[in-house]
Amino acid sequence: MDYRSSGVDIDAGHEVVRRIKDLARGTFTPGVLSEIGSFGGLFSLESLGLRDAVLVASADGVGTKLKVAFLANVHDTVGEDLVNHCVNDILVQGAQPLFFLDYLATGRLSPDVAASIVEGMARACRTNGCALLGGETAEMPGFYRDGEYDLAGFIVGAVRRDSVIDGRAIVPGDVIIGLASSGLHTNGYSLARQIVFDHLALAVSSHVDALGTTVGQALLAPHRSYLQVVRPLLGDKVIKGMAHLTGGGITDNLPRILPPGTAAQIDRHAWDVPPLFRWLQRAGDVPLEDAYRTFNMGLGLLIVVAEADADRVRGRLSEAGEHDARLVGRIVTGGGRVQYVG
């Protein structure tokens, strides 16, 4: 008996590393001191030029969106999803990304699939100015079904201590600006898959007139990164808090940044809910409250600013390419919950 006969192909693992080395090198920034394949990645903070820098770290996964990728045999977009999700998670605290690491686990390693996933990660890392510093690829026969894998990402960013955004300055009277999502992002897929594939019995190739595209294309739309449009505002110190709308939607994520004695009031008529969410809600007969707690409903990032700064912030966002930033609510006195109106 040998390792290959037990289900682990070391040669395939070496082939994956060979393919991804160039992809990773294409993301390297001046701070990178190591090569792909080292036991650990090295990154110098000297290139930051930040005084009193604070490191900000986060980890996340893509969730059951991976199931859609398996069905569609499209794997680069979930790599992009993973990076952008993690970038947004540290952006809401004012941090800009330094480097990213990934964990890919599968039952039987396919160099083509692994390279496609990393291609998506590398593309997102280049866009966000973030180095793909390293990662782990684990072949675990008998643990995952053939053709399936799991994916996790780990990001480290930095922000000056006096520029950390933590929501403490939020007070009643502040306003909430919403930035559009590009789709489901990486949350709500367990419910979406149940509606689409179990209840409606559709395939990833099924065309849906209400969406103007196929099921697979709609569900695999990449998770947006908000770094490029928010970055110009970070030095202005006008942002009091930001919420990345992931699992739990507006209902559960916005309260995470609210200080004691405050609540948030959201006007459901302040933006147009995209067709994908309306279609899913209607097809699955999803109660409105559940929809807003499961899906992002067309808003991927919420920014809290003083009312006096709102027009200037929206103008700066427009200059950066975000032309449809909406005033979607305000901060009120309360017990830390989201109140919906409209």
Tokens of 106: 């599968």
Q: Tens digits of per-residue pLDDT, 291-334?
A: 999 999 999 999 999 999 999 999 999 999 999 999 999 999 99
Give the residue among 101, 126, 96, 51 at the shortest CA–CA distance from 231.
96
Q: Which residue has the higher pLDDT, 15 or 223?
A: 223
pLDDT confidence of residue 41:
78
Q: Tens digits of per-residue pLDDT, 158-168?
A: 999 899 999 99
pLDDT confidence of residue 313:
97
Q: H-helix or E-strand containing 227?
A: helix 227-234
Q: What is the secondary structure of 35-72 as a DSSP string?
A: -TTSSS--B-SGGG--TTEEEEEEEEE-TTHHHHHHHH
Quickly tell me which residue has 């290959």 as its tokens: 4
DSSP-assigned beta bridge partners for residue 177? 303, 327
pLDDT confidence of residue 24:
83
Q: H-helix or E-strand containing 329?
A: strand 326-333
Q: Are 109 and 16 in contact (CB under 8 A)?
A: yes
DSSP letter at 34 equals S
Residue type, 9: D
Q: Are 149 and 106 in contact (CB under 8 A)?
A: yes
Task: Say which residues have a Cβ less than 8 Å from residue 57's Cβ, sequence separation at least 6.
Answer: 90, 154, 155, 156, 157
pLDDT confidence of residue 301:
98
Task: Say which residues have a Cβ less than 8 Å from residue 216's Cβ, sequence separation at least 6.
Answer: 68, 71, 72, 74, 204, 205
Task: Say which residues have a Cβ less than 8 Å from residue 68's Cβ, sequence separation at least 6.
Answer: 189, 193, 204, 216, 219, 220
Domains of the chain and any CATH numbers: 4-163 (3.30.1330.10), 175-341 (3.90.650.10)
Q: What is the secondary structure of 222-275 as a DSSP string?
A: PPPP-HHHHHHHHTTT-EEEEEE--TTHHHHHGGGGPPTTEEEEEEGGGSPPPH
What is the dihedral angle through the alpha carbons of 152, 89, 317, 164, rounded to the nearest 10 degrees? Answer: -150
Tokens of 204: 């990833």
Handedness of CA 41, 42, 47, 52 (dihedral sign): positive
3-state SS class at 278:
helix
C-alpha atoms less than 13 angstroms from C-alpha of 215 in its C-beta half-sphere: 21
3-state SS class at 143:
coil
pLDDT confidence of residue 112:
93
Distance CA 32, CA 27 (A): 10
Tokens of 125: 């890392």
Rg, Å, the chain Cα set = 21
pTM of the model: 0.91
Quickly tell me which residue has 């017990």 as its tokens: 335
Q: Tens digits of per-residue pLDDT, 104-133?
A: 999 999 999 999 999 999 999 999 999 999
Average predicted confidence (pLDDT) for the chain: 92
